[in-house]
Structure 1
Amino acid sequence: MPSPYRSLPGLPSLLAAGLVGVLALGGGWWLGQRQSATQASADPKRTLLTKEATRLRLRLDADEAGPADRQRLLELLVALDRKGEAISLLEPMADREPERWSLRLVLAELRRDQGDRSGAERELRQILNLRPTQVEALQLLSLLNLEQGRAAAAEARVKAAYGMATKSDVRPEALGIGLLLAELQLKRNQGATAAATYLQLANVFPQDQRPLLGLAMLRHDQGDAKGAQEALAQARLRTANPDKPDTRLDKLAASWGLEPLRSPSAAAKIPTAPASEPLRQSP
């Protein structure tokens, strides 16, 4: 099943923190760096960037480089598409500062980009051993699992993380984990289970539009135009200013051939699931 999130141009801000789904997992930090690399390749100032990288490398070799120098050198190496050197620089940085999980996440992305899936997975497991509910690490590890045909394992891991994030007090990261779980369920052709997950998230996070947007896109992909419109109408009620029309949602409805969301009346027709209801188990 294709990702339902491809049909939502113009709403990137609403789809942040997980809703973009696993097809774009490597695209957050890494996409930005790839764009920088492309720009650097075409930029006449590339020579200057290379000279700066060489200067910083000499400082590093002379043991004169500080943290800011190392960070800048890393950025330059990635922008210049010298990823092998970036990995060599990043490895000791990540080992020295294990609390900075983002360094190891970048290292995992670099390893995956270089074709080292096992190395990337090793880095991600180090993050998750210390932070089992770290969303970005779960996203990238899920992508690696999908690439290797291990969708069931990915779903099981994310479901366990969701359980941890909602066991007592609901943690903020539970939303991103739940959205990732729904995407994985869709990848496994479990549309009804994914819909139940979106409904539960909508109840647990009553101020957030994203679960309802995910539900709307799922229903649209299933050919349920009425259900999609109802979900969009309820999502509209969750705007920062309910009295001000959200033209982005109207444009989305129009792109699907639905009527503009001029009335919130359809929102009341959406069923709800108790927040305490457990997510349905995968077959």
Structure 2
Amino acid sequence: MAPRTPPGSGTGPRLSLSLGVLIVALAGICLAGGWWLGQRSAGARGPLPTQIALQHQARQLQRSIDQGRASEAEKERLLQILLALEQKPEATKLLERLADQNPERWPLRLLLAELRRDQNDRAGAEREVRQILNLSPGRMEALQLRTLLQLEQGRGGEAQAQLQAAFLKANTAPVSANALPLGLLLADLLQRQKQGGAAEALYRKLAADHPRDPRPLLAMALLKQEAGDTKGAQNFLAQARERSPDKDDPRLDQVATDWGLAPLRALKVPSALSPKPKPADSGPPKP
């Protein structure tokens, strides 16, 4: 059985940005309205009471919007319900208006881009991403989604060239705060482009350039795990723990557990600063 991916990496392609992740990332909005989906019946007995209630509420909110009486909170509530009901075309139309009316709220535009992608409108999704990057060229969430869209459309070379240029610029003094995230994204893309050696070299450079950040080492651990090198993955996970501000961070243990590795706290990484083991006493054992 293939090893499970660690939390946060998503299923399928590692660059994939799920709709759920983007919803959670929205600043100032609660759009996690899909809680009822698990209650849906597989039979053909009609909608459940919860679904009927949501549809009724959606009609009321839509009426308020049509009459010009809806508050921002009511519009966002309607968006939440439409997403929960999987009415994506209707949610897209509403989100278009919200994003146009609130250009400073880039998460709305990002969610709109992901909704378009989810409906196979990748050109439209890229158009939305460009609007975000026009206002904020260094917005990592938009850069990640743009990279994914380019990759899905067979334009991996274009994505790589753009990321390499952005990474070089970010590492020009003064070094940008985006230097590490850009490097991690570029290395991930290199791996997806079957350039594993270049990806590993970049991860090692990032680990050296950012000696206090565990992320490059976690990425190396994932690379090793995907290559079937369990010992190498264990080693890099243990090194990542040494860099973590909270060395007892349970999330790192969860990563190890999900990969089927030994618990991190049981792993030891040799250090030049570690005391040398004393030679065994050759005399008889003391009672």
The equivalent of 1:62 in structure 2 is: 67
| TM-score computed with the length of structure 2 as normaliser | 0.76
Which of 136, 145, 149 is the equivalent residue of 1:131?
136
User: Which deviates the most, 173-182 or 111-120?
Assistant: 173-182
> SS in structure 2 opposite 1:21?
coil
How do 1:63-102 residues align onto structure 2 when only pairs under 5 Å count?
63-102=68-107
Distance apart, 1:247 and its partner CA: 3.9
User: Is it true that 1:178 corresponds to 2:183 in the alignment?
Assistant: yes
Cα distance in structure 1, aligned partners of 2:153 and 2:249 = 46
Cα distance in structure 2, aligned partners of 1:203 and 1:225 = 22
How do 1:184-203 residues align onto structure 2 when only pairs under 5 Å count?
184-203=189-208
CA contact (8 A) 2:224 2:233 kept: yes
Distance apart, 1:49 and its partner CA: 0.9
Cα distance in structure 2, aligned partners of 1:176 and 1:153 = 19
Which of 245, 250, 253 is the equivalent residue of 1:240?
245
Distance apart, 1:187 and its partner CA: 0.8
Distance apart, 1:157 and its partner CA: 2.1
> SS in structure 1 opposite 2:16?
helix
How do 1:7-156 residues align onto structure 2 when only pairs under 5 Å count?
7-9=4-6, 11-12=7-8, 21-24=14-17, 26=19, 28-29=21-22, 35-36=34-35, 38-39=37-38, 41-42=40-41, 44-156=49-161
User: Which deviates the most, 58-67 or 223-232?
Assistant: 223-232
| TM-score computed with the length of structure 1 as normaliser | 0.77
Q: 5+ unaligned residues in a row in structure 2: which ranges? A: 25-30, 42-47, 274-287
Cα distance in structure 2, aligned partners of 1:103 and 1:223 = 40
Cα distance in structure 2, aligned partners of 1:230 and 1:162 = 27
CA contact (8 A) 1:124 1:141 kept: yes
Q: Which whole-Å deviations, capped at 9, do the CAs of 1:229-274 have from their partners, x for residues lacking one?
A: 4322311212334478964466468x25899753221699xxxxxx
Task: Indicate the structure (1 or 2) with the bigger Cα radius of gyration.
Answer: 2
Cα distance in structure 1, aligned partners of 2:226 and 2:176 = 30
% same residue: 42
Q: 5+ unaligned residues in a row in structure 1: which ranges? A: 269-283
Cα distance in structure 1, aligned partners of 2:115 and 2:272 = 44
Cα distance in structure 1, aligned partners of 2:271 and 2:238 = 6
Change over 3 Å in CA distance of 1:176–1:267 after alignment to 2: farther
- RMSD between superposed Cα atoms in Å: 3.3
Which of 230, 235, 239 is the equivalent residue of 1:230?
235
CA contact (8 A) 1:60 1:70 kept: yes
Change over 3 Å in CA distance of 1:257–1:236 after alignment to 2: closer
Cα distance in structure 2, aligned partners of 1:237 and 1:60 = 54
- Which amino acid counterpart does residue 106 of structure 2 have in structure 1? W
Change over 3 Å in CA distance of 1:76–1:267 after alignment to 2: farther
Aligned residues: 257
User: Is it true that 1:206 corresponds to 2:219 in the alignment?
Assistant: no
Distance apart, 1:34 and its partner CA: 8.6
Cα distance in structure 2, aligned partners of 1:163 and 1:125 = 21
Distance apart, 1:23 and its partner CA: 3.1
